[in-house]
Amino acid sequence: MSVTVRAPAKINLHLGVGAKREDGYHPLDTVYLAVSLYDDVTVSTSAVWSVDVSPIGDVDVSGVPLDDSNIVVKAGRLLTAHHGIERAAAIGISKGIPVAGGMAGGSADAAATLVALDRLWDLQTSDDDLLAIAAQLGSDVPFSLLGGTAHGTGRGELVEQVPDAGTWWWVVVPNDEGLSTSAVYRAFDALPTPAAVGSGAVLAALAGGDLDALADALHNDLEAPALELRPALRETADDLVGSGVRARLLSGSGPTYLGLVADQDSAHHIREALLDQGYERVVVATGPVAGVHLVDYA
């Protein structure tokens, strides 16, 4: 028997970062949006834990570990420990989310694994317990479970759905070389702490479905440290602006850049123009989309 669960990528429409806490994490005021790039995770019972990864399209999966360090194995072990059972599974990941791209691909896989194993073994884990286990796996994992549009606080793990009247279209420009999330936070610490900008303007734009207001309000405190680590990214940011997007945004800790556009047609138009300009991979995505959901049970 096998179970397949799909999980979306996320972007942060607002990412406000405060000074490092005593536990090493940073307090966040963030607004998450789940977008239509997906990983599919298929689980089946096995004597030992194993991981297999295959790309969707031309996603580069070479950076994904196939041993116990893969976050999906950690997810499986936490779930079995929570229920006091000893079981293992073979886990297959079909990856459509850029690796180390700041779009929470590993977090999506972890969230999908929790839900897939819960169903495979009929564990009936409560939503609150799933969210608590997700938070132990990583700051972005609870949002991957939830999907949609949400306000995130704490270190990002406390999530609450927010009103979103829009359907937002994005041109997504992944980068060949990933960026380490912890390295970007360290670079943030080395820079002067930015003046706090609240998430209120983004939340109001979403509630009103107001594209111009959202374009004005997009904000990411990790953009400056990511550019410090990878100055060449400035060119992508400038090219996006030159391509006619309504606003550009670094996705989470980067290096993926996003352009907000008015509708699906403009997204495809701008994608073509960027490909003509020499960009190898440009993807169109929309959001909000659902969080983890079952797609196959065989």
Ligand X SMILES: Nc1ncnc2c1ncn2[C@@H]1O[C@H](COP(=O)(O)OP(=O)(O)OP(=O)(O)O)[C@@H](O)[C@H]1O
Based on the residue annotation, tell me whether 95 is a catalytic residue of this protein.
no
Based on the residue annotation, tell me whether 140 is a catalytic residue of this protein.
yes
Residue list 244-273, contact with ligand CDM (CB under 6 A): 252-253
Nearer to ligand CDM, 155 or 271 (CB): 155
**Residue 42 host element (H or E):** strand 28-46
Nearest to 10 by CA among 140, 204, 100: 140
**Catalytically annotated residue among 29, 39, 40, 140:** 140
Region binding ligand X by CB under 6 A among candidate stretches 18-26, 94-102, 119-127, 276-284: 94-102
Contact characters 15-54, ligand X, x per CB under 6 A: ----------------------------------------
Shortest distance, position 68 Cβ to ligand CDM, whole Å: 16
With b for 16 or more beta-carbon neighbours within 10 A and e for fewer, the 118-141 pattern comes to bbbbebebeeebbbebbbebbbbb
Contact characters 182-221, ligand CDM, x per CB under 6 A: x--x------------------------------------
Calpha distance 162→140 (Å, rounded): 17
Residue list 98-127, contact with ligand X (CB under 6 A): 99-107, 109
Complete DSSP assignment for 184-246: HHHHHHHSPPPPP--SHHHHHHHHHT-HHHHHHH-EETTHHHHHHH-TTHHHHHHHHHHTT-S
Q: In this structure, are residues 17 and 221 in contact, taking their beta carbons and an 8 Å threshold?
A: yes
Which member of 42, 70, 80, 181 binds ligand CDM (CB under 6 A)? 181
Enumerate the active-site residues.
Answer: 10, 140
